[in-house]
Amino acid sequence: MIAVFKSGFVAIVGRPNAGKSTLMDRFLGSELSIVTSQPQTTRNSIKGIYTTEEEQIVFIDTPGIHKPKDLLGEQMDDYSYQSFKDADVILYVVDASVKLGKGEQYVIDKLNAQSVPVILVLNKIDLIHPDTLLSITDYFHQHLKYEKIIPLSAVTGQNFSELPNEIIKFLPVGEPLFNVDDLSDKPTIFFVAELVRKAILELTSEEIPHASAVEVLDMSQFENGKRLIEATIYVERDSQKKIIIGSKGSMIKNIGIHARKQIEELLGEKVNLKLWVKKAPKWRNTTTYLNSLGYRKEKR
């Protein structure tokens, strides 16, 4: 019997910090989206490509759906809503360890208004009591239109093995959409910028993570046998710039060391990483800055 090959798009949506990126990374066996404890870590729509001999699943990891406070937030939500239309099936990821609120109902209303099949993923079940899971399941049974509900833990892998088989049921028969060796549709320069931003997220706090952005200016040159990477970190205020630089340049040095190690793992070569910090007032509400940083509005 000849095996039927299936391929299609799977949107991963949900509230900030629900574990969407961790879930995709478990599928791919690689940290494609940056994962930190900070909410709204993912800002772009990132495609992760999972290919076997029988299927190719193109995951669309989206920013957490939230009530926008600026133009960047609006475009982040726009990426998520566009993924509804692009997908053959939606994975709606819910953090089962936190209390359900108005934010979750906001996402539910958006999902109920479209026709793409939904698989409800109750994530982080390793952090809750089984009785709590029953009440959460009952809530979604009453409020959400879904095809299947799967409780799991993206971190530990608990009950994860059930998810791939459920996804495949909704994928159409067809040829691979990307080369079988591809892991993502994003260029290397995108992931280099993301690793610098990840270092900022992990080493700073308060308003800095959300007020900062990274632009890689060049990574085509070599210096003393190392790839030279030049990047600018944008912040909105002088006080934020001072924090990023740190006392006698200590923070920017630590960010560079932290990011360089991961970039070298990504590229498989030695790197000389040079970072600059620039103040860009209200960049999150400025279309020109958003476009240059890759946060472009999705085309309809």
Q: Does residue 261 register a pLDDT over 90?
A: yes
Lowest-confidence pick of 31-35, 122-126, 167-171, 269-273: 31-35
Give the tokens for residue 14: 């949900």
Res 196 pLDDT > 80: yes
Give the confidence band of 76 by pLDDT, cuts at 50, 70, 90: low
Cα–Cα distance for residue pair 101/93, rounded to 1 Å: 15
d(CA 174, CA 55): 9
- The vertex-78 CA angle with 74 and 81, nearest 5°, equals 140
What integer is the mean pLDDT of 194-205?
A: 89
pLDDT at residue 187, as a whole number: 87
Where does residue 228 rank: exposed (0-12), middle (13-18), buried (19+ CB within 10 A)?
Answer: middle
pLDDT above 90 as % of the chain = 56
Per-residue pLDDT at 36 exceeds 50: no
Residue 210: pLDDT over 50: yes
Burial 287-296 (b: 16+ CB within 10 A, else e): eebbeebebe
Res. 39: pLDDT tops 60: no
Residue 47 pLDDT class (50, 70, 90 cuts)? confident
Mean pLDDT of all residues belonging to the chain: 87
- Report the range of poorest mean pLDDT among 25-34, 74-83, 190-199: 74-83
* Whether pLDDT at 37 is above 50: no
The better pLDDT of the pair 42, 300 is held by: 42
Judged against a pLDDT cut of 70, whether residue 207 lies above it is answered with no
Tell me: pLDDT of 60 over 80: yes
The pLDDT-based confidence of 219 (bands split at 50, 70, 90) is very high
Sign of CA dihedral 165, 167, 172, 173: negative
Q: Could you tell me the CA-to-CA distances from 193 to 80, 200, 210, 262, 277 in Å, in that order?
A: 21, 11, 15, 11, 14
pLDDT in tens, 226-239: 999 999 999 999 99
pLDDT exceeds cutoff 80 at 28: yes
Query: Alpha-carbon distance 76 to 66, whole Å?
Result: 9
Of 60 and 37, more confident: 60
291 vs 219: CA distance, rounded Å: 20
Please indicate whether residue 295 or residue 124 has the higher confidence score (pLDDT). Answer: 124
pLDDT value of position 61: 85
As a three-state string, the secondary structure of the chain is: CCCCCEEEEEEEEECCCCCHHHHHHHHHCCCCCCCCCCCCCCCCCEEEEEECCCEEEEEEECCCCCCCCCHHHHHHHHHHHHHHHHCCEEEEEEECCCCCCHHHHHHHHHHHCCCCCEEEEEECHHHCCHHHHHHHHHHHHHHCCCCEEEECCCCCCCCCCHHHHHHHCCCCECCCCCCCCCCECCCHHHHHHHHHHHHHHHHCCCCHHHHCEEEEEEEEEEECCEEEEEEEEEECCHHHHHHHHCHHHHHHHHHHHHHHHHHHHHHCCCEEEEEEEEECCCHHHCHHHHHHCCCCCCCC
Residue 155 has pLDDT above 50, yes or no: yes
Q: What percent of the chain has pLDDT over 70?
A: 87
Q: From CA 107, how far away is CA 234, in angstroms rounded?
A: 31
Q: Is a pLDDT exceeding 60 seen at residue 1? A: no
What is the pLDDT, as a whole number, of residue 290?
Answer: 84
Examine the pLDDT at 222 and tell me if it is beyond 90.
yes
